Structure 1
């Protein structure tokens, strides 16, 4: 979505600050008031909760590579987390969590967390606005898509929306954003499929029938009339209020931005609202400077953000468990990009490429999917974490394994047939191989010789058969070549990578074959 189109959709959005007794609902201005408000959800038990980490999260300090710790410490000496302070993960000696993330660590030990390493996309964009748009639309870096991936999914489940919605069978919103603007992720072909609860205050005003007083003037009479019409027009207020009132007690949450948002989501889910997708957000993760506190790299601004994230997720899952609604929910984190491998002189990190995602829930497969990110021996501030998994593979996997979307529909939603990853247990929809099997099967798949090389190098690779692809990336994450992209029989093959037109430096060869993938670093040198 172009910047001007985003502003076109959001700036004229329907905004009624005192909507239904203080419950502010906003919908994109591309549809009329009635069609924007008449959204509903189908009767589906599974819920996806997305947590947006605004600003670009430093994944390398959140999920730390213990097996590459010496390289990690050498390349970011002024912000590296001391190895002895890292939180260990059960049955995993290669990875540790930031010490502020004890809540996520506990959920991992309970078998409710999957961490996906180095998630990104080819040729990443480093603009906050454009990178966010790519993630929420599910587009390639070089294309503009006017709809969101969530909106396209909901369009397939509710054809013709918003005409005829809500109705007796579908009285609830399809998607809810806790925040002032509905996410473009929910933009469908005809209308945005989501509504926004602008704040926790507005939510509780709705439940308590709190109404801001109107002045005793002619304008006050008109304002009261507008509020009355808005309340009559809004088709969601009764179902939202009913669901919330079904929950009379909740567990304790941290008094943070994320904690307040997730508490609302838990109440609506446990109260029986059939909304299928929720979006919450927190920030700001743009840590160019003062990421850690001088003298103690376990503290500082980034540590505070990670603590808020971890405590919020833990409280959310504990609350849902107590309310007997946790089996309905899978959650995931995402950020528009990661940070550079090498820290800068301001005790921070600059805009980068790939970063880990955290997926959590009762039916999530426990484990670390992928390997520790490749860290060069002597890196520069331009070096980025090479992508192991495309973010749309995560979307495809969740849609297939949590919402039981078939392959044909998946390709219509995401435009391509993306690699599927073992994220959700087969209890939900029937699934694929386990994480350990995928990780073990993703070793020794690709080598190259000679290495280092001058102009050309031969890629030697193995495939189990089926679609096989090799992508070549530079240290900025740019896709510079695709020497293999075919349906193949199982076996061992070779391909030549010709780099005559490329500068000397480090390159990454990424092989993908079904659920398996491996990244190989290669060094081009000058004659």
Structure 2
């Protein structure tokens, strides 16, 4: 490992002592949450669409060049979609199958909110309306922090990290990180005491001095470890040596645990999201040897800022997401962990219901997926914008079909947090706006 790699490893592991003392009762079953972030603002108006003829005709009149033909929309064997007869994008056969198997639910019209809001609140810019709507960077932060507010303490931490910190005590560390990012830095996993561990594809970097296992390389390695194990009067030198040594040990521990894991052939190759989820699946399979009962993962893929020609590009994007998620869930079930992991989608925002002539522009409330055996699946939750009235007449339309959300990110997140093991008081501490909303939307099974 080069000096740069060593420093990167140290930085990604430097908070592990403070962050991983699991305070759940001994023998607590393992659970994980996986955030699948779609950067750029996914046009979820074409993820979940009306299939009934009258509603589809109004959809087509608004979407024009973005219209998915009625016959191509994937039918859902739904238990409850409020009688709307909704269906999925034709590229999402994998997610359709998971939905019909009861392993996937749909959450309609969720977005950043401070309190329940109306169209009048939007026009009057009341306290319920977040700042800087339709801005990529601001809405990514607000989605990942659930802090659509000027509360600086919450804006600086992500709700994934706050959940992890709520489950962690002050005891000495006994296991590896609860937070793992396969997609670099993010706001979701930044806490007061925690930062995510960031492995590369297939595992963590291996520390070595030299290019192989020759006697000279072994001698260098041994000498360097002896330097790290020495005691130093200077506090910074001592801290650097301690962190370096622990980072090497931690990386070796994780790589050793990953050695015996599956390659998860159900997850598609040559799929950037799939490769991230493959590593997540490996780390989940290795959780027994690693001795941890809770983990929160972050994976992401981009390309969803579809202002230009959208139909073909968006079909490819959604197809890759669907294939990766289906392969991941199938892989988890192959190792008996299908009920232990909940995956959910998130994105900057939805997009405009009407077209700019080629694609779509920045919107607000949108539709998302929750996947796993712990999900009360085969249902559509939330309040889908009435598809049988024109966009201009819709009471949620702020203009061009930018929907006022009827479900807040806090509610979406808090429902998963309850399943994950947080108490009601911890949920109130973690989510700054939840007192303004119903904290449990019902799409998760009892913890």
What TM-score range do you get, normalising by the shorter chain? 0.7 to 0.9
The counterpart of 1:374, out of the listed 376, 380, 386, is 386
TM-score, scaled to structure 2 = 0.77
The alignment yields a C-alpha RMSD, in angstroms, of: 3.1
**Equivalent residues, number:** 382
By relative contact order (CA 8 Å, sep 6+), the higher-ranking structure is: 2
State the Cα distance separating 1:52 from its structure 2 match: 0.5
Give the alignment of 1:261-276 within 5 angstroms. Answer: 261-272=276-287, 273=290, 274=292, 275-276=294-295
CA contact (8 A) 2:108 2:380 kept: yes
SS of equivalent residue, structure 1 residue 330: strand
Show CA shifts across 1:106-162 (max 9, x none). Answer: 1111110110000013335211111111111111244442221122222221134xx
The counterpart of 2:182, out of the listed 178, 182, 204, is 178
User: Matches of 2:399 and 2:136 in 1, distance apart?
Assistant: 19
Relative to structure 1, the CA distance from residue 142 to residue 71 in structure 2 (aligned partners, 3 Å threshold; closer, same or farther) is farther
Structure 1 or 2: more helix by fraction: 2
State the Cα distance separating 1:211 from its structure 2 match: 7.7
Q: 1:232 aligned to 2:232?
A: no
Query: Which residue does the alignment assign to 1:350?
Result: 361
User: Matches of 2:386 and 2:253 in 1, distance apart?
Assistant: 49
User: Matches of 2:365 and 2:3 in 1, distance apart?
Assistant: 39
State the Cα distance separating 1:18 from its structure 2 match: 2.7
Show CA shifts across 1:475-519 (max 9, x none). Answer: xxxxxxxxxxxxxxxxxxxxxxxxxxxxxxxxxxxxxxxxxxxxx
User: Matches of 1:16 and 1:354 in 2, distance apart?
Assistant: 45
Show CA shifts across 1:285-331 (max 9, x none). Answer: 11111111xxxxxxx11111101100000000111111112121011
CA contact (8 A) 2:17 2:172 kept: no
- Structure 1: 5+ residue runs without aligned partners? 1-14, 215-220, 293-299, 430-527
Relative to structure 1, the CA distance from residue 16 to residue 150 in structure 2 (aligned partners, 3 Å threshold; closer, same or farther) is farther
Q: 1:19 aligned to 2:27?
A: no
State the Cα distance separating 1:249 from its structure 2 match: 4.5
- Structure 2: 5+ residue runs without aligned partners? 114-128, 213-219, 229-240, 393-397
State the Cα distance separating 1:17 from its structure 2 match: 4.3
Structure 1 or 2: more strand by fraction: 1
Show CA shifts across 1:147-194 (max 9, x none). Answer: 21122222221134xxx5433xxx11111000232x2222222x2342
Query: Which residue does the alignment assign to 1:218?
Result: none
The counterpart of 2:137, out of the listed 107, 129, 132, is 129
Give the alignment of 1:81-480 within 5 angstroms. Answer: 81-91=68-78, 94-122=85-113, 123-124=129-130, 125-144=133-152, 145-160=155-170, 165-167=172-174, 171-181=175-185, 183-189=186-192, 191-197=193-199, 199-200=200-201, 203=203, 206=206, 213=211, 225=224, 232-234=245-247, 236-255=250-269, 256-272=271-287, 273=290, 274=292, 275-292=294-311, 300-345=312-357, 347-366=358-377, 367-374=379-386, 377=390, 379=392, 382-400=400-418, 402-415=419-432, 416-417=434-435, 418-419=437-438, 420-426=440-446, 429=447
User: Matches of 2:384 and 2:195 in 1, distance apart?
Assistant: 38
